[in-house]
Amino acid sequence: MTFKEEVKDIIDKKPTREERIKEKQGKHAKVELHLFPKKTFYRIVLLVMSMVAAVFLSMMILMDIFPSDLTFLLIALLFGLLIITCLLFASNRRWKRIIGILFACVFMVLFIGASSFMGNTYAMLGKISDSGKSATGPAAKSVNVTEEPFNIYITGIDQWEDEKGLDLERSDVNMIVTVNPLTKKLLLTSIPRDTYVKLHTAQQMDKLTHTGIYGVDETLYTVEDWLGIDLNYYVKMNFTGAKDIIDAMDGINMYSPIEFESSIKGYKYVKGWNKMGGSKSLYYARERKAFEGQDSVRVENQQRVLKAVIKKMTSSTTLLTKYGDIVAAAGDNMSTNMPANDMKALVRMQMTDLSEWDIQTQKIEGEYGEDYVASLSSANKYSIYRPDEQSVEKCMKKIDEVENERPSEDDNVLIRNKSFIVNGVNRVLEKWKEKLGQEDD
């Protein structure tokens, strides 16, 4: 074939205008096919996935505990999975559509489970908060819990869940927790259960533990009258609540300065670090007969347990993986007048900066004696604990110092990043450097 004949053949094979239009339409149809599936089944699956995503986003908004950058990260993951699944469903290849179905199944199981979990946690959080709002009880003296210092009164009731209503409620654990969110400091001030105080309502002398008989209102008002302190919130809990919460966070690791055995349950505690579940921790905090100091030593042990609980509860791992379990464990065995929004704000702050708290302890000292108590027979005197006025003054001064302390310009607290991701990376690097340093030593 000559050159002229080849050129003529190419020209003759040139597509007509109608053929070019059809070719373009075919290409557009192919593009549309790859962007969105044509089959009704796949479209229904995508619609269901979108509904699940909407429910998940709604629950995230209601929970309001996630840092903003973590929220954006979860939203990006959500939509990323939706887009990938859509493209897989639109593919002409069967194996890709099968992978798309697997993606869809994982997506729905994951986000339906997460939405249900958040919904239950949100409802339980509201229930715990609402249960602490009695008609005559102390209203919360709310503050901006992420910017202002505040005091929480912890009252531990000497009952199990199945003993409710069968016996009088006595406040066996009495502790003021002073929180300064700016310096990330916590001060635990313990008050022995037998402390001799004037009742708020009756204006007669009694043991502090007996104020629980008349309700948490009487306990808080009595302590406020005596110490001249504002108690912004309270947390009331029985034995079951304490045990279940510790179990929900997979136990605590706590240092005991002495070795002893529980006189109630038979648990043995070694001198040094003890890995303990809820029941063992509870009986550690309850023990007093094994010590010469009895209640004074028990107060210190209660502080050790609470300190270990706070450290475990505020760790990033526990907050991210156990928060809902902890709230569910509290259930019907814990009440507080702290609004749910304040609780969520604290969790969100801790999840964002991931920094550790400086936890300090102190206790009101005194000596045992005997005197008449209002709640018991006036014919006899009973064992009471007379607080030392100098000790009370010293403890109140320390509370005031923690409340009014502000971070200095050199304090790392001031330069805490507001990004969960940045703080998370920094924490990992810090742990890595610590590990390297230990290996070098």
Segments of the chain with pLDDT less than 50: 3, 6-7, 10-11, 27-33, 135, 413-415
| Range 403-430 burial, b when 16+ CB lie within 10 A, else e | beeebeeeeebeebeebbeebbebeeee
Alpha carbons 391 and 365: distance in angstroms, whole number: 6
- Dihedral, CA of residue 315, residue 319, residue 49 and residue 112, to nearest 10: 140
Q: What is the pTM of this model?
A: 0.81
Q: Would you state the pLDDT for residue 8?
A: 55
Q: Would you state the pLDDT for residue 263?
A: 87
Domains defined for the chain, CATH in brackets: 11-128 (no CATH), 143-433 (3.40.630.190)
Helix (H) or strand (E) segment spanning residue 80: helix 68-90
HSE-CB of 265 using CA atoms within 13 angstroms: 12
Nearest to 194 by CA among 336, 298, 335: 298
Nearest to 431 by CA among 331, 319, 329, 316: 316
Q: Would you state the pLDDT for residue 189?
A: 97
Helix (H) or strand (E) segment spanning residue 342: helix 340-353
Alpha carbons 166 and 159: distance in angstroms, whole number: 9
Helix (H) or strand (E) segment spanning residue 135: none
Q: Would you state the pLDDT for residue 441?
A: 53
pLDDT in tens, 306-329: 999 999 998 877 887 888 888 888
Alpha carbons 285 and 264: distance in angstroms, whole number: 11
Q: Would you state the pLDDT for residue 243?
A: 94
Q: What is the Rg, in whole angstroms, of the alpha carbon atoms belonging to the chain?
A: 31
Q: Which residue has the tokens 């409340």?
A: 403
pLDDT in tens, 243-254: 999 999 999 999
Alpha carbons 328 and 125: distance in angstroms, whole number: 8
